[in-house]
């Protein structure tokens, strides 16, 4: 408002602004009359208020400009300490570029992979190890991942599995070059394993490409004997069928099941025999109470004839020399065997003359003792190539005269009881025993 005495009266707010402007010296040197002259111009109240507001705004702007130049707070009562940093002021730009991220970087508990600041995705090889980073977030992945139809597995540490690894109690194989899930046959440190279509390692009995195999609980391919429900099988490593030689012995395995056979086996109308251990019989063998002969030249096939009683009797004896002699005093036969107990094979059969009833040949088990070229008997006889088996009981030739060589036979009786107890033989047979049967060979005489 303006009174008649040319005094200026302003509203408190406007007055405060003007006082500040005047105090700051913004209008220094301006005559007071100028203010007075302006103030006496006839104006309505609204116009005055409008002009005052404009002037106030201009004064504030000038005041702000002044504060920037002088460091004043605006009230004129406080001054900014030049050593104190203004928190609202911008830091100077040094021109340096922030360092780019590289390698495996953990952010908020999640691992990512960067190359020159660029986040990587999918399967990545880092320092020789495969990892997987999710396609959307780039976060490191774990567990099974399928990429273009190929399966991979990444452990709790994110590393891709390589080689034979166990996942939830199941064995798998991951290729060494790529970590891709493998299938089929795999050889690891000399041991074979097999992984099925799902990539899982197999155990137990398996049929692969039509052949049967056995895998241990570890998954390793098994070989050798395997007993299942009382039946024996052999894997080499495939399951054996038919006749096979194992450690020098022949065995026969069922053509359908592969189970080891025992007892009689008929093949192509020929008979073969396999004992309780599954081993094939050769030579003369006792089966029950009867002895049979199996020809080794015919793969052990049974011969047409069953061994006679003398052959059967021979099998129960043993001899330290590999030879055995049986003398049947009733049939007047001497038979020589070669082999061992239970497997004696006859090599020579001879007709003999043994002791007459008044001077019988002893019966029992004896051994071969001394030998000699000849001895004289009676007044004019001579016996050639003698072999002792008990005291004065001998194997020798029929009786010849006392010529320097056996030429003239005095008593050539054969196949009867006619001697004084010795066992007489044809000259060639006596000589054969003399030349071939060693000392300590067992001799069995019986009726």
Fold of 99-161: left handed beta-beta-3-solenoid (2.10.270)
Q: Where in the chain is CATH 2.40.440.10?
A: 309-445
> Tokens 């020579």 label which residue?
348
The pLDDT value recorded for residue 295 is: 87
Instruction: Indicate if the pLDDT at residue 362 is higher than 70.
Output: yes
The pLDDT value recorded for residue 290 is: 76
Q: Which CATH number fits domain 309-445: 2.40.440.10, 3.40.50.300, 3.20.20.70, 1.10.10.10?
A: 2.40.440.10
Q: Where in the chain is CATH 2.10.270.10?
A: 99-161, 224-306
The pLDDT value recorded for residue 96 is: 61
Instruction: Indicate if the pLDDT at residue 43 is higher than 80.
Output: no
pTM over 0.95: no
- Taking all residues of the chain, what is their mean pLDDT, rounded to a whole number? 83
Q: Hey, which residues does 57 pair with through a beta bridge?
A: none
> What kind of architecture, by CATH, is found in domain 224-306?
Ribbon (2.10)
Instruction: Indicate if the pLDDT at residue 37 is higher than 80.
Output: no
- Least confident interval from 84-98, 224-238, 247-261: 84-98
Helix (H) or strand (E) holding 184, with range, is: strand 184-188
Task: Extract the tokens encoding 242.
Answer: 């038919």
Instruction: Over range 349-367, report the average pLDDT.
Output: 97
Instruction: Indicate if the pLDDT at residue 16 is higher than 70.
Output: no
What string of DSSP letters covers 191-259?
EEEEE-TTSBBP-EEEEETTEEEEE-TTSPBP-EEEEETTEEEEESSSBP-EEEEETTEEEEE-TTT-P
Instruction: Indicate if the pLDDT at residue 72 is higher than 90.
Output: no
Instruction: Over range 26-55, report the average pLDDT.
Output: 44
Q: Look at phi and psi of residue 180 and say left if phi exceeds 0, alpha if psi is from -120 to 50, else beta.
A: beta
Query: pLDDT class for 86, splitting at 50, 70, 90?
Result: very low
């Amino acid at each position: 408002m303006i009174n008649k005495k040319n005094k200026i009266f302003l509203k408190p707010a406007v007055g405060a602004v003007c006082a500040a402007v005047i105090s700051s010296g913004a209008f220094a040197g301006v005559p007071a009359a100028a203010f007075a002259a302006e103030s006496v111009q006839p104006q309505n109240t609204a116009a005055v208020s409008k002009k005052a507001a404009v002037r106030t705004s201009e004064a504030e702007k000038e005041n702000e400009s002044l504060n920037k130049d002088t460091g004043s707070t605006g009230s004129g009562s406080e001054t900014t300490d030049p050593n104190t940093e203004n928190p609202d002021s911008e830091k100077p730009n040094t021109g340096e570029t922030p360092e780019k991220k590289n390698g495996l970087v953990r952010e908020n508990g999640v691992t990512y992979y960067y190359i020159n600041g660029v986040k990587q995705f999918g399967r990545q090889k880092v320092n020789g190890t495969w990892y997987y980073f999710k396609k959307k977030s780039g976060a490191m992945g774990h567990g099974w991942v399928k990429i273009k139809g190929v399966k991979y597995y990444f452990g709790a540490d994110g590393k891709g599995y390589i080689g034979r690894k166990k996942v939830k109690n199941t064995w798998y194989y991951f290729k060494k070059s790529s970590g891709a899930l493998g299938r089929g046959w795999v050889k690891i440190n000399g041991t074979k394993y097999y992984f099925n279509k799902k990539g899982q390692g197999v155990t137990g009995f398996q049929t692969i490409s039509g052949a049967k195999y056995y895998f241990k609980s570890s998954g390793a391919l098994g070989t050798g004997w395997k007993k299942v429900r009382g039946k024996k099988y052999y894997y080499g490593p495939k399951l054996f069928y038919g006749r096979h030689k194992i450690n020098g012995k022949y065995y026969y395995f069922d053509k359908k099941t592969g189970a080891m056979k025992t007892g009689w086996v008929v093949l192509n109308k020929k008979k073969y025999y396999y004992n309780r251990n599954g081993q094939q019989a050769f030579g003369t063998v006792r089966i029950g109470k009867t002895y049979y002969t199996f020809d080794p030249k015919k793969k052990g096939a049974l011969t047409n004839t069953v061994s006679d009683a003398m052959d059967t009797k021979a099998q129960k004896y043993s001899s330290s020399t590999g030879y055995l002699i049986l003398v049947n005093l009733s049939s007047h036969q001497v038979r020589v065997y070669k082999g061992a107990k239970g497997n004696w094979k006859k090599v020579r059969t001879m007709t003999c003359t043994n002791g007459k009833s008044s001077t019988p040949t002893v019966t029992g088990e004896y051994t071969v003792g001394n030998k000699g070229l000849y001895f004289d008997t009676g007044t004019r006889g001579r016996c050639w190539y003698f072999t002792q088996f008990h005291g004065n009981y001998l194997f020798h030739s029929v009786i010849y005269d006392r010529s320097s060589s056996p030429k003239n036979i005095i008593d050539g009786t054969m196949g009867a009881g006619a001697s004084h107890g010795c066992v007489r033989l044809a000259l060639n047979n006596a000589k054969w025993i003399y030349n071939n049967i060693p000392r300590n060979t067992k001799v069995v005489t019986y009726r």
